[in-house]
Chains A and B, each alone.
Chain A
Amino acid sequence: MKLPYERPTLRKLTAGALNKFGPRAGARAVTAIDGVAVDELVARFGSPLFVLSERQLRRSYQAAVRAFGTRYPQVQLAWSYKTNYLNAVCRTFHQEGAWAEVVSGMELEKALLNGVPGPHILFNGPGKRRADLERACAVDAVIHLDHADELHLLLDVAAGRPQRPRVALRVNLDAGIVPQWDRFGFNLENGEAWQALGRIVASGQLELVGLHCHIGTYVLQTAAYGTAATKLAALALRCERELNTTIQYLDLGGGFPSTNTLKGAYLPATDTVPSLDEYAEAITGALLGAGFKSGELPTLVLEAGRALVDDAGSLIGTVLANKRLADGRRATILDFGVNLLFTSFWYDHHISPTREFSNHTEPTVLYGPLCMNIDMLRESIALPLLAPNDHVLVHKVGAYNLSQWQQFINLRPNVVLVDQAGQVHLIRAAETLEYLQQLEQIPAHLQ
């Protein structure tokens, strides 16, 4: 029997300061996802392949409910559709009890088709059209008002309706972080939000039920959420006091990070990202201390997306080729690119081999298959000596990739869900050229 082969390679040794945070030498192989072998998944469904773990989806959801629900009496999660609106994913969260947070008419319809009752749909977004508002009113979704034009459009839509549309006001505020997100909602500090609230109540045509804010994305400062919760609670109490209107819920939005490491970060996110418990402590501590009367605490709504789904997604790919760049660096070309792994623009994704190698690694540039210079997945990653047809597994890709992916140069691949019993389900079939072209029309003179 012949010896296993690994291509001959040299690595220049560089002396540097010792780092107690240094990773272990060599990349650890990940051979299976929830007990299903990677090789088997590729044999059945091809490569590249997105794999979602139902077990992890539910685990992440339950962890979030536990973090907030053990600290505050009334908590409601609303699944952020834009983060991943594959129906199987949405329905898993809805089964767990999540409402839907949508940001467009299309997402509103998806939530309805997924069986979410209208009153359990929170309609955010800065670009609602008249037809969207009419539809939201018809199904009794809660409309989160983003700007004054939308408020006046909704007042127009609401006129003559037998039932007052239920609304929440989107508020932007200074939570002590930079940049301050002020493009969504009405500003608190300059009085714009209070003016809008007064107009809503005075109109008599809308039912004000909630206040909302979304302070940012991948926010690492838990104290910022505490500040936002304090300010939103104070606004709710002022509504009670001065407008004689009880705010039923405070929606603190989302923006909770996953443990993907942002580009440029010195330490891995697993070492630096606060736990959901820390966010929960900041938010619920602020609400409980805000001065609400006993038994009159508003429901706390959270629009978590990334924190619920990122860990549950993996992307399996295959090495197409190895090459060496002009400066001597190793480059590896994979069968998926930034068109599928959109988040590689933001993260240094953790990527594992899927079989055992020796512990010799080589600094490698990872490219996708697109004929575009931007198609770089990792600028430098220590990987074992991968050969063509070896597989790799990208971890924590469940958030945004499956809603922001692009059909560009290549068709989009299969997506499967591994259920809690280890059964594999195709939840989105690989695209075909026929699918791609079915909406195109060729003018007669070109036929």
Chain B
Amino acid sequence: MKLKKNIATSESGFIFNPATGDSFAANPLAADILARAKEGLNPAAIKADILARYDVAPGQLEKDWDDLLAQLRDFNLLD
């Protein structure tokens, strides 16, 4: 997952794409994931951290991770 460099994110989950003017609301977990991705953490580390902190099965997380990627692609937020 590699966010476009110009995408602005906030801790509250507000996401802004200055190239298109589109803005998005991320729920807390999505905001957390995007912030870590911007910090440069790799997906495996982010997922391990989520599994350690949240009540979720690995399989469910994998499925939802793929879905988040699909959303990011669909919204044109990935490089």
CA distance A5 to B60 in the complex (A): 10
Residue of A nearest to B57 (CB): A5
Instruction: Please determine whether A3 and B54 come into contact, CB atoms closer than 8 angstroms.
Output: yes
Known: A2-B54, A12-B75. A7 touches B24 (CB 8 A): no
- One digit per residue, 1 when the CB lies within 8 angstroms of any chain A CB and 0 when it does not, for chain B 59-75 equals 01000110110111011
A244 within 8 A of B: no
Instruction: Please determine whether B26 and A9 come into contact, CB atoms closer than 8 angstroms.
Output: yes
B28 to chain A, nearest CB (A): 7
Instruction: Please determine whether B33 and A8 come into contact, CB atoms closer than 8 angstroms.
Output: yes
Count of interface residues, chain B, beta-carbon cutoff 8 Å:
26
Within 8 A of B (CB), among A1-27: 2-13
B11 within 8 A of A: no
Contact check: which of A2, A10, A358 meets B24 at CB < 8 Å?
A10
B19 within 8 A of A: no
Instruction: Please determine whether B25 and A11 come into contact, CB atoms closer than 8 angstroms.
Output: yes
Known: A2-B53, A4-B55, A5-B54. A10 touches B75 (CB 8 A): yes
Number of A-B residue pairs having CB atoms within 8 Å of each other in the complex = 71
Instruction: Specify the main secondary structure of chain A where it touches its partner.
Output: loop
Instruction: Please determine whether B54 and A10 come into contact, CB atoms closer than 8 angstroms.
Output: no
Residues in A neighbouring B54, C-beta threshold 8 A: 2-5
Known: A10-B75, A387-B60. A3 touches B53 (CB 8 A): yes
Instruction: Please determine whether B71 and A10 come into contact, CB atoms closer than 8 angstroms.
Output: yes
A328 within 8 A of B: yes
- One digit per residue, 1 when the CB lies within 8 angstroms of any chain B CB and 0 when it does not, for chain A 174-189 equals 0000000000000000
CA distance A322 to B71 in the complex (A): 14
Instruction: Specify the main secondary structure of chain B where it touches its partner.
Output: helix
Known: A5-B29, A7-B29, A8-B33. A328 touches B67 (CB 8 A): no
Residue of A nearest to B25 (CB): A11
B77 to chain A, nearest CB (A): 8
B8 within 8 A of A: no
Instruction: Please determine whether B55 and A8 come into contact, CB atoms closer than 8 angstroms.
Output: no
Within 8 A of B (CB), among A324-374: 324, 328, 358, 360
Within 8 A of A (CB), among B6-58: 15, 22-30, 32-33, 53-56
Instruction: Please determine whether A8 and B26 come into contact, CB atoms closer than 8 angstroms.
Output: yes
Instruction: Please determine whether A10 and B26 come into contact, CB atoms closer than 8 angstroms.
Output: yes
Residues in B neighbouring A7, C-beta threshold 8 A: 29, 60, 64, 67-68
Count of interface residues, chain A, beta-carbon cutoff 8 Å:
19
Contact check: which of A3, A6, A13 meets B27 at CB < 8 Å?
A6
Instruction: Please determine whether B70 and A9 come into contact, CB atoms closer than 8 angstroms.
Output: no
Instruction: Please determine whether B75 and A385 come into contact, CB atoms closer than 8 angstroms.
Output: no
Instruction: Please determine whether A10 and B53 come into contact, CB atoms closer than 8 angstroms.
Output: no
Instruction: Please determine whether B22 and A360 come into contact, CB atoms closer than 8 angstroms.
Output: no
Instruction: Please determine whether A11 and B68 come into contact, CB atoms closer than 8 angstroms.
Output: no
A354 to chain B, nearest CB (A): 19
Residue of A nearest to B32 (CB): A8
CA distance A94 to B77 in the complex (A): 62
CA distance A328 to B75 in the complex (A): 9
Listed residue (B25, B27, B32, B72) with the most chain A CB atoms within 10 angstroms of its CB: B27
Listed residue (A4, A5, A12) with the most chain B CB atoms within 10 angstroms of its CB: A5
Residues in A neighbouring B25, C-beta threshold 8 A: 10-11, 13, 360
Residues in B neighbouring A360, C-beta threshold 8 A: 25, 27
Instruction: Please determine whether A8 and B30 come into contact, CB atoms closer than 8 angstroms.
Output: yes
Known: A3-B53, A360-B27. A10 touches B72 (CB 8 A): yes
Closest 9 CB pairs of A and B: A8-B30, A5-B56, A328-B74, A360-B27, A7-B64, A2-B55, A5-B54, A8-B29, A13-B23
Given A10-B24, A358-B28, 16 other A-B residues pairs in contact with their CB atoms under 8 A: A4-B54, A5-B29, A7-B60, A8-B29, A8-B32, A8-B33, A8-B65, A10-B15, A10-B25, A10-B68, A11-B25, A11-B26, A12-B75, A13-B23, A322-B67, A328-B75
Name 25 A/B residue pairs within 8 A (Cβ), A-sorted. Answer: A2-B53, A2-B54, A4-B54, A4-B55, A5-B29, A5-B56, A6-B29, A7-B29, A7-B60, A8-B30, A8-B33, A8-B65, A8-B68, A9-B71, A10-B25, A10-B27, A10-B71, A10-B72, A12-B22, A12-B24, A13-B23, A324-B70, A328-B70, A385-B27, A387-B60
